[in-house]
Structure 1
């Protein structure tokens, strides 16, 4: 129960900070979001471009665990996974608060779950992540990014959302590893403590979920 309360308190705290304490919304925010969404990137700091698209990669990373986890939960995972593409951790935290710890997988994987479970999917996510991070780090203007982080609600909250997603991944990681029979605690901590690339590495290396673990009726 204390675990669930902690997730709800974190959700309330993040939402309160985003609306009450973060820098104000700038007049050009919606234009910036529209241009980023449409790929009109001229004049936009590559760090912001990279961060924006990485925030689209994070929900895919989480989905590779979330839909498998959700199969054994009383609540469906898809509304929270879908919401995370728009509001990130703000959509995932309620799921983490409502779910129950579960280290089993029953039944068969459908085509969708097989795609999410595939190491090839992990590899594609990894290539996209490396490319986006390299683009932002090598071509970006860090001074401009810091200034925008201090003055723009969108940039500030998006950065906070990124950090929150990095911190929350271990919540699902332990159960996912147990379903696959992976008992290496060192691997758990490597994945958990390396932001973004740790989860990507896990998706590339984790063994496939065994369907033989299904219970017979």
Structure 2
């Protein structure tokens, strides 16, 4: 219950920050930025901002690699929140994290989509993409990015959303490890404490979930810590 309350407070607090405390929203500039990104007119976009925008997408895929399995066993599926997260980032994700119940099991068969999310290829592809994005970001204008962070609500909110993705991942990590019968406290803490690359390496190394896993709830150090 404390976890749920904390997540709802975080969600409400982030919304309040964006509405009342964040820098002003420059709507025309934001729409121009999004147009340039989606039309691949990247020459007119600061590489730092383009990389940050793409890394938010990487985070959504990281969470998808965990929560689509989790949602199979919840009273509410994950996919509506995944769709909402595409447009709103953590604002669409946090309600699912607050509504879900602790879940250490998975049953049934994996369809092609879940098999992709469960594959090492998925984790490796995300890791290589992230490395490329970070290298590209170093070529950008960091002074200009910092100025926009201080003066533009969209850039400011997107940057904070990236940080929240890092902060919240441990809340679902323990249950995913328990579903895979991977009771390893060292792996949990390394994954939880190393931002972005911890979860990426975890996706590359974690054992696959077997089809028709028996619905048993194992006792897991990692799950209890994650809650």
**Pair in the same fold by TM > 0.5:** yes
Aligned pairs (5 A) from 1:160-171? 160-171=160-171
The SS at the match of 1:132 is helix
For the pair 1:94 / 2:76, whether they are aligned, the reply is no
Aligned length: 215
Partners of 1:167 and 1:112 in 2: how far apart? 27
**Contact map agreement 2:36 2:45 (CA 8 A) in 1:** no
Q: Distance in 1 between matches of 2:173 and 2:206?
A: 11
Contact 1:23 1:151 in 2 (8 A): yes
CA distance in 2, matches of 1:29, 1:212: 47
Q: Is the 8 A contact 2:192 2:198 kept in 1?
A: yes
Asked if the contact 1:55–1:85 (Cα under 8 Å) also holds between the matched residues in 2, the reply is no
Alpha-carbon RMSD across the aligned residues, in angstroms, is 1.3
The corresponding residue for 1:105 is: 106
Residue 143 of structure 1 corresponds to which residue in structure 2?
A: 143
The aligned residue for residue 116 of structure 1 is 117
Aligned equivalents of 1:46, 1:198: Cα separation in 2: 24
Structure 1 residue ranges (4+ consecutive) displaced by more than 3 angstroms after TM superposition? none
Q: Conserved in 1, the CA contact under 8 Å of 2:30 and 2:154?
A: yes
TM-score, normalised by the number of residues in structure 1:
0.96
Partner of 2:30: 29
Q: Deviations over 1:117-151 (max 9, x none)?
A: 111111111111110011102x0121111111000
Distance 1:157 1:121 in 2: 28
* Structure 1 gap ranges (5+): none
Matched-pair contact (CA < 8 Å) for 2:104–2:179:
yes
Deviations 1:125-180 (A, max 9, x none): 1111110011102x012111111100011110000000000111111110000111
- Residue of structure 2 equivalent to 1:52: 53
After TM superposition, give the deviation of residue 212 of structure 1 in Å.
4.5
- Unaligned runs of at least 5 residues, structure 2: 216-227
**Cα displacement string for residues 5-48 of structure 1 (whole angstroms, at most 9, x for unaligned residues):** 11111000001101111000123111111111221112321110
Q: 2:221 — aligned with what?
A: none
Q: What CA deviation, in whole Å up to 9, does each residue of 1:164-199 have, x standing for no partner?
A: 001111111100001111111111111111111111
Return the alpha-carbon distance in structure 2 between the equivalents of residues 34 and 133 of structure 1: 22
Following superposition of structure 1 onto structure 2, how do residues 173-212 of structure 1 map, counting pairs within 5 Å? Answer: 173-212=173-212
Q: Distance in 2 between the 1:37 and 1:185 partners?
A: 41
